[in-house]
């Protein structure tokens, strides 16, 4: 049955209608779209400067030089007090962030919240005493393929630019940009510098945040991706409440995609839905009665095509209350009410290892349910996980990466961060390390 919202759409019926302009929408929304300038200081490392003989004969000082690295993006004003949302990759690692308004005024900004999982960040303008124009959020679940949209941003730094196109596809889940694979695809021209800018619908509301393009040349080829407004709304709400991290509901179950072979086994006409592979004891999923081998086909009446679609739909539900999930169990439909609550995050005990060892400069943590959910690990994963590696540290030079799970060092089992901290205090010329990376176990012997 065609919805009333869909019936509002129609094609132009006369030559006069083809001469209609988007200018009124642009004039209303353009002041709320800003330019974001981020800068960070990087060290220029010349290996010749490490040689004292080179420095002596060529008169080169031992102090390494510094260089300012700059990035350019766009952003959207979402609160009249000066709150701006942009892409996390625009401001990642920045020491200084500035925001330029459409009227050319420039303000310094502080980073309020960064969410790597959605590639969104929220900024706040400093030292402001006025109200700024903002964009309201559209309900991105009401968008349809073929809807006309405008992309507004600062491509290549040429200045604020408006392009138009249509929504080419919805719920793109195989893009590989962020944890939440659920993007709006558009053919509105998006280029470098548009990241963090607005994708606007024909009511002048924010439909999404432009975040990436598919391109063989580096420029627009008519395939751009935007983060839906309903995900942006969740991140902005966390920033408004003063949170430093986004709080989302936790299911407590591992899901897997339905392959054609699995679909045939389950008697499905096509491979769709999210198959429950395992359940965490005591989790919301367990308390709701979800079971392994259940096939999730809908949440809140919205169909689920794959695990990525479920992750997005579930993550954009407000905390508190329940979410109604429809599953197929042994071929029969079952409805379950899953509590919407955050994952337990106690006992991470994050530390940075400072004693001289191959781990020096690595930040490690115990695997809490919240961290397991964030890193896409099974809740019963053992070991200590690397959550960060300092640039130019010993651990970075040895090739340790975020997400590495340390299981044992020199024959000693590593169950918590204090175990790894204790082991790295021992002086050793050889370090026998057992870790898991990308699901594969690695045994390495490193020099001390």
For tokens 């308004």, the residue is 101
The active-site residue out of 71, 74, 168, 195 is 195
Q: What are phi and psi of 442, to 5 degrees?
A: -125, 130
Residue 98 tokens, joined? 């500035």
Q: What are phi and psi of 121, to 5 degrees?
A: -140, 150
Give yes or no: 195 in active site: yes
By C-alpha distance, which of 51, 71, 221, 56 is closest to 157?
Answer: 71
400 and 420 in contact (C-beta within 8 Å)? no
Give yes or no: 100 in active site: no
The active-site residue out of 115, 119, 187, 419 is 119
The active-site residue out of 71, 74, 89, 404 is 89
Q: How far apart are CA 310 and CA 302, in angstroms?
A: 10
By C-alpha distance, which of 299, 308, 306 is closest to 271?
Answer: 306
Give yes or no: 51 in active site: no
The 3-state secondary structure of 376-420 reads CCCCCCCCEEEEEECCCCHHHHCCCCCCCEEEEECCEECCCHHHH
Strands (DSSP E) contained in 80-200 are: 83-87, 96-100, 106-115, 120-125, 148-153, 161-172, 183-186, 198-200
Active site residues: 89, 119, 195
């Amino acid at each position: 049955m065609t919805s009333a919202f869909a019936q509002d759409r129609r094609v132009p019926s006369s030559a006069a209608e083809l001469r209609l302009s988007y200018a009124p929408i642009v004039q209303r929304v353009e002041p709320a779209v800003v330019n974001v300038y981020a800068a960070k200081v990087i060290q220029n490392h010349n290996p010749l400067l490490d040689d004292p003989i080179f420095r002596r004969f060529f008169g080169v000082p031992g102090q390494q030089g510094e260089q300012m690295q700059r990035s350019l993006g766009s952003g959207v004003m979402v609160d009249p007090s000066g709150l701006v949302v942009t892409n996390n990759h625009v401001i990642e690692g920045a020491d200084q962030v500035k925001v330029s308004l459409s009227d050319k005024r420039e303000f310094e900004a502080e980073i309020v919240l960064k969410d790597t999982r959605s590639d969104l960040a929220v900024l706040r303008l400093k030292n402001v005493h006025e109200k700024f124009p903002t964009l309201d959020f559209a309900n991105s679940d009401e968008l349809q393929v073929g809807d006309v949209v405008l992309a507004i941003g600062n491509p290549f730094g040429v200045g604020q630019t408006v392009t138009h196109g249509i929504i080419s596809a919805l719920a793109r889940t195989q893009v590989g940009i962020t944890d939440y694979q659920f993007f709006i695809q558009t053919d509105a021209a998006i280029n470098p510098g548009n990241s963090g800018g607005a994708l606007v619908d024909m009511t002048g509301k924010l439909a999404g945040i432009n975040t990436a393009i598919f391109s063989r040349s580096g420029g627009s080829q008519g395939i751009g991706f935007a983060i839906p407004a309903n995900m942006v709304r969740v991140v902005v709400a966390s920033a408004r409440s003063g949170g430093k991290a986004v709080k989302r509901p936790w299911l407590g179950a591992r899901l897997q995609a339905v392959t054609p072979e699995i679909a045939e086994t389950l008697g499905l006409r096509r491979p769709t839905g999210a198959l429950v592979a395992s359940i965490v004891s005591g989790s919301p999923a367990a308390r709701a009665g979800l079971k392994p081998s259940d096939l999730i086909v809908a949440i809140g009446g919205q169909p689920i095509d794959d695990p990525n679609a479920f992750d997005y739909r579930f993550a954009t539900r407000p905390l508190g209350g329940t979410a109604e999930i429809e599953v197929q169990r042994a071929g029969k439909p079952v409805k379950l009410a899953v509590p919407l609550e955050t994952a337990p995050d106690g006992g991470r005990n994050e530390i940075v290892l400072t004693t001289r060892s191959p781990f020096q400069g690595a930040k490690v943590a115990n695997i809490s349910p919240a961290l397991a959910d964030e890193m896409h690990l099974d809740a019963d994963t053992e070991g200590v996980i690397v959550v960060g590696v300092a640039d130019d540290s010993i651990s970075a030079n040895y090739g340790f990466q975020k997400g590495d799970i340390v299981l044992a060092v020199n024959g000693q089992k590593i169950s918590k961060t204090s175990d790894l901290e204790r082991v790295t205090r021992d002086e050793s010329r050889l370090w026998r390390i057992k870790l898991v990376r990308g699901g594969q176990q690695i045994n390495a012997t490193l020099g001390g």
